[in-house]
Structure 1
Amino acid sequence: MNSNAPRTRVDTLIIGAGLTGLSAGYHLTKHGEQVIILEAATRVGGAVGSVIEAGWLRELGPNSLMQTEALAQLLSELDLSAETIEANPIAKKRFVAKNGHPVALPANPLELLSSPLFSLGDLFHLAREPWIKPAKTEESIAQFVRRRLGQGFLDWAVDPFVSGVYAGDPNRLSARAAIPKIYAMEQENGSLIRAGIARM
């Protein structure tokens, strides 16, 4: 190490140039902080990235964005609003791979009852949902969904969604922070099903 090398003063040193590191750096810089971001990989973006394999585009991390006011403001500040692409209506039909075959996620209660994704036990757990009491402590998304809807719904409906939107592990994401509207449905109505019926 060269002790004569010029030293750079920074207010914050961020380790990792994934979305979290880049976002934190951007917001700190906006507030006048001197920031340095260190990244071990040869590119920024962390889990976010796209590759083309055999003519197909494959997303390495999240493949969609949830439209929020904060996201719209950030995209506008970064002059990226024009780069967003609306999902094709055909893409509303979502599929997961089960036993090596694509299976459509149910789009309505009737499809839910006949879906090969969920067992009879999963459906019985779902039927009990209105009588399951809210948790008294902070829960991960996985704990929240497992308690309210059962393991099958976590494995085949929620985990693919969380992976697609957050590129994260539902066991490590806070339900209150990551899915605040669904969390609020339980807090306000005591049940997701009752909340859904109340909103009809």
Structure 2
Amino acid sequence: MKNNKRYIYISVIMLVLLVAVKFGYDYLSSNYNSNQAITNLSDENSSIQPAIDFTVYDKNNNKVKLSDYKGKKAVVVNFWASWCPPCKDEMPHFQEATNKYNNEDLEILMVNITDGMRETKESAEEFMKEEGYDMNVMFDLDLDAANNYQLNAIPRTIFIDKEGNLVYDHVGIINKEILDENINKIIN
């Protein structure tokens, strides 16, 4: 009889723990999914969400905010580093796009993930100079952009319309066709 009561108590305790774990999991999952994490918006039916602002620095160490372009220009942001082989492989596409779309309607920001250890401002500038690239390079010296966009891989390219909405988020190397297609989406 004592053994039966013991099993009943253990069973009730286990049931209560399982219910608590289930509610805890549901609560944490819903909170995690509702934070500002970036999702891939390649689906035409996806709702547009505002791009998360960040602050980076130009070559003269002036602060530049993503929101500076809101209402003025569509923006393509490419996150890269000079030590990243896929980043290097896609650079010619961005140079070509910079030359082709160099107008008042579009800004291409090449945001270098400048952590000060593996990547420095000097190493990034040297890479651009050696390769002959002439693009609008920004330096993420405080890793504000990397943190706000929860970067866990580079290269990564985001496309933002003139109103400041994130239209497409591409993780990994990008080809010329995808770059051109998404530029046309945000400038038209």
Higher relative contact order (CA 8 A, sep 6+): 2
Larger strand share, 1 or 2: 2
TM > 0.5 fold call: no
In the superposition, the TM-score normalised over structure 2's length comes to 0.28
